[in-house]
Amino acid sequence: MIELRDLRKHYRVTRGGWWSRSRALLRAVDGVSFSVGQGESVGLVGESGSGKSTIGQLVLGLIAPTAGSIVFDGRPLPAGPAAVTALRGQAQVVFQDPYDALSPRQRVREIVTEPLRSLRRHRHSELEDLAVRSLERVGLHARDLDKYPHQFSGGQRQRIGIARAISVSPRFIVLDEPVSALDVSIQAQVVNLLMEIRREQGIAYLFISHNLAIVEHSCDRIVVLYLGKVMEIIPTERLHADPLHPYTRALVDAIPIPDPALAQSTDPLAGEIPDPANPPAGCRFSSRCPLATERCRATEPELIEHHPGHWMACHRQADLPVPSPIT
């Protein structure tokens, strides 16, 4: 349904004080390609600064790409505000912070019906019934329509955000860290709600998160980003058995194990993500990779399909384990 083709987003940034200012090119997204099928949930993971949220904004048409294209239903999206118009009613978003995502001056009735009023598909008399239906689907009630956001908990506010997103029956939703601001006890409830809605309505998700365990639970495929580049695209069922790229393996090893008896001692990933305005010359991960060679530091690897549906960009592919067949 949605395909990203060599997508790039670069920014010109100013550095230094007034006495020594310089201009640099910040490569937030630098040649990303992947797709999201109808009704599919694709996870987008990586450390802070890898370009996850920027891709979400690009897909929604909120910012224009520097190069590359986004194809929706076989048609390239136009650049600029025209992209928002083309996606209106087709795509929605659930934001990370449920406290900032809802206007404190609006009642729930106004918040949930705002997308419906913008589309002008329904009569005014129908809006409240549609709002109640959306609220009830996320576990809230009609009596909540006249309340303000400050009268709800964080988890309830996120449910209101989800109700607003599904009110127009979209085909695609960008979930930008939808549970990272919630208590751990509430996260599972919200994630399970999102998965139920997806199964019922056939909505496709782009699930952006830094929590690999949550993405593993809720996605069909996982796109691993590092410094604006795709390192690996892996089916979820292969994540623990066959993570090929050293960066993916480091992310998997970093998933907390709740049972101390099962915990394994692994070496943490050394260093921090480099400056996107001054990335390494070859593989973006070469400055932190334990397998890096001179070739890795000089030449950027291509994203190659090593097994049906399993892609990786790494020069050391011969030294990595062979993927096992999916059973």
Question: Per the structure block, which two tokens stand in for 81?
Answer: 């505000």
Identify the band that residue 213 occupies on the pLDDT scale cut at 50, 70 and 90. confident
Residue 323 has pLDDT above 60, yes or no: no
Identify the band that residue 32 occupies on the pLDDT scale cut at 50, 70 and 90. very high
Residue 211 has pLDDT above 50, yes or no: yes
User: What are the pLDDT digits (tens) for 182-205?
Assistant: 888 899 999 999 999 999 999 999
Report the Cα 85 to chain-centroid distance in Å.
Answer: 22
> CB under 8 Å, gap of 24 or more: what pairs does 276-282 form?
276/26, 276/27, 276/28, 276/49, 276/51, 276/227, 276/228, 277/13, 277/15, 277/24, 277/25, 277/26, 277/27, 278/24, 279/27, 279/30, 279/227, 279/228
Confirm if 116 and 130 have CB atoms less than 8 A apart. Answer: yes
- 84: Cβ contacts below 8 Å, ≥ 6 apart: 60, 61, 62
CA distances from 173 to 94, 141, 211, 267 (A): 7, 23, 18, 36
User: What are the pLDDT digits (tens) for 293-312?
Assistant: 999 999 999 999 988 889 99
The pLDDT value recorded for residue 87 is 83
Question: Per the structure block, which two tokens stand in for 199?
Answer: 């199964």
Q: What angle do CA 311, 323, 55 make, to 5 degrees?
A: 25
The pLDDT value recorded for residue 79 is 73
Residue range 74-82: mean pLDDT, rounded: 80
d(CA 204, CA 40): 5
Structure-model confidence comparison of residues 104 and 121, the more confident one: 104
> Counting runs of H as helices and runs of E as strands, what totals does the chain give?
9, 12
d(CA 110, CA 102): 10
Residue with tokens 């067949």: 325
Question: Per the structure block, which two tokens stand in for 160?
Answer: 């209101």
Question: Per the structure block, which two tokens stand in for 188?
Answer: 């599972």
Question: Per the structure block, which two tokens stand in for 184?
Answer: 């751990």
Identify the band that residue 262 occupies on the pLDDT scale cut at 50, 70 and 90. low
Report the DSSP pairing between strands 2-15 and 204-208. Answer: unpaired
Nearest to 145 by CA among 119, 110, 175, 117: 110
Q: What is the mean pLDDT of the chain?
A: 88
Residue 20 has pLDDT above 80, yes or no: no
The pLDDT value recorded for residue 327 is 46
The pLDDT value recorded for residue 40 is 96
User: What are the pLDDT digits (tens) for 135-163?
Assistant: 999 999 999 999 999 999 999 999 999 99
The pLDDT value recorded for residue 23 is 81
Q: What percent of the chain has a predicted confidence (pLDDT) above 90?
A: 58
Residue range 33-50: mean pLDDT, rounded: 94
d(CA 165, CA 102): 12
Q: What angle do CA 99, 101, 103 make, to 5 degrees?
A: 85
Per the confidence metrics, is the pTM higher than 0.85? yes
Nearest to 9 by CA among 229, 221, 223: 229
Question: Per the structure block, which two tokens stand in for 136?
Answer: 């009830």
The pLDDT value recorded for residue 22 is 74
Q: Residue type for 232, please?
A: E
The pLDDT value recorded for residue 17 is 65
Parse the chain into domains and list their residue ranges.
2-90+170-245
Residue 237 has pLDDT above 80, yes or no: yes
Q: What is the CATH number that goes with domain 2-90+170-245?
A: 3.40.50.300
Structure-model confidence comparison of residues 27 and 254, the more confident one: 27
Residue range 162-189: mean pLDDT, rounded: 91
Instruction: Output phi, psi for 62, to 5 deg.
Output: -75, -25
The pLDDT value recorded for residue 19 is 67
The pLDDT value recorded for residue 266 is 60
Residue range 228-234: mean pLDDT, rounded: 95
Nearest to 94 by CA among 2, 201, 30, 180: 180
Structure-model confidence comparison of residues 238 and 19, the more confident one: 238
Residue 86 has pLDDT above 80, yes or no: no
